[in-house]
Amino acid sequence: MAPKAADKRVKVITELQASPDRVFSDPSAVKQVILNLCLNAVQAMESQGSERWIKISTRNGPGVVETRISDNGPGIEPAMHARLFQPFQSSKSTGFGLGLAICRDIMTSLDADISVEPPIAGQGATFRVVIPCQP
């Protein structure tokens, strides 16, 4: 992700606080979801002239590990928020609008969750991926 972000003048910030050995999941599937969220953030900031950043943070919660992907892009339009994870929903001029729907399906198959914080237009976006810990 770092080379793609650097090519687009996007700084990647990490705050990895979760214990790395707490989750029992499919690492390839989780990686695919995190990568898709990061790529969406980079694409959302393409026309932004000011400083661009993506922040990836992790923390442990009660029985879960939470990963947050935040950016300082244009944010998500409130009208799009309710249907964001439905197929064929996109604010991009290219693509099919399947990425977030696939991410939700992947997370559901792992007994995990993906959500987006309520939008504030013009103030970036924050997605949360919550994965249960091994019992």
Q: Where are the domains of the chain?
A: 2-132
The pLDDT tens digits of the residues spanning 9-67 come to: 999 999 999 987 678 889 999 999 999 999 999 988 887 778 899 999 999 999 999 99
| Tokens (6 digits) for 18 | 């979760």
**DSSP letter assigned to residue 118:** P
Please give the pLDDT value at position 46.
84
The pLDDT tens digits of the residues spanning 80-123 come to: 777 788 766 666 555 556 789 999 999 999 999 999 988 776 78
| Tokens (6 digits) for 75 | 């944010």
Strand order across the beta sheet in which 64-71 lies: 10-16, 52-61, 64-71, 125-132, 113-116
Return the CATH number of the domain spanning residue range 2-132.
3.30.565.10
**Closest by CA position to 44, among listed 130, 103, 122, 132:** 122
Contacts of 69 (CB under 8 A, 6+ apart): 34, 37, 38, 41, 54, 55, 56, 126, 127, 129
